[in-house]
Copies of this chain bind each other. A is one copy, B any other.
């Protein structure tokens, strides 16, 4: 039996990095893709790039879609415009790509009311530093995790339709509780943003206080290690803000745990407990490959 995305047109709302990349891959697989965007300039560019079969600023473009992918920024996902809700085909399976799942699940259960079972909260974990209609690229999801966090009321057939789509794009399909997803991304994605941002600010502020010429010196000497460690902290401030805002509780828990761990390391340096510090850093060296 063919998958839902093969039997009926697929709707994509938003043609940014994720929406555009979904469109490119689905077109390449032979799907009919109908894209809804906000501005005519985006529609025009998305058409030129071949990101979808049809691109429109009119929500009616979604009529007839069997599956609709909401590739919107988190703030729009959490507060979908009534015109979008009205245009979603009543039988269509709906999924999203938001980086926090608990609040999305709550918002869309409310928005879809009687037919919330066809909403599948999901998170394809792929990205680049790029954004906007120029950012979409083929193969973005290949080998990357695609996490679904169904609720108790999620229809098995809806979940299966999204799984088939994710696997067709080469993603690794994972299912977990929304709360576990949100705790996990707090630790491996949202906490790193603040840890990294704080490092940038410390290098800036501490050098300015320490000695004349030191701000210039730290800037001249910073190399690949500093570049890597500060990359996510120097990224898009809106993404960082949304993560903190919509995953606040899990992030605060992560920050408290982090503070405790860093204080232990500081204490080892303070007390000059070099054997224990070396053991601790050797643990880190062993630990890191488990995550990558």
A interface residue numbers (CB < 8 A to B): 125-127, 144-145, 147, 172, 174, 176, 179-181, 183-185, 187-189, 191-207, 210-211, 213-214, 217-238, 240-241, 244-245, 248, 251-255, 257-259, 261-263, 265-266, 268-270, 272, 274, 277-278, 280-285, 287-292
A235 touches B184 (CB 8 A): no
B221 touches A125 (CB 8 A): yes
Taking a contact as CB atoms closer than 8 A, the residue among B185, B235, B278, B289 that contacts A285 in the complex is B235
B291 touches A227 (CB 8 A): yes
Q: A199-B191, A262-B195 are in contact. Are A221 and B288 (CB under 8 A)?
A: no
CB-based closest 8 A-B pairs = A234-B288, A237-B281, A222-B291, A206-B257, A198-B262, A237-B282, A192-B229, A228-B228
How far is it, in angstroms, between the C-alpha of A288 and the C-alpha of B200 when the chains are bound?
A: 7
Give chain A's interface secondary structure class: helix
Shortest A96–chain B CB gap in Å is: 17
B229 touches A196 (CB 8 A): yes
Question: Which chain B residues border A204 with CB–CB below 8 Å?
Answer: 287
B183 touches A210 (CB 8 A): yes
B229 touches A228 (CB 8 A): yes
How far is it, in angstroms, between the C-alpha of A258 and the C-alpha of B226 when the chains are bound?
A: 14
Shortest A262–chain B CB gap in Å is: 4
How far is it, in angstroms, between the C-alpha of A274 and the C-alpha of B237 when the chains are bound?
A: 11
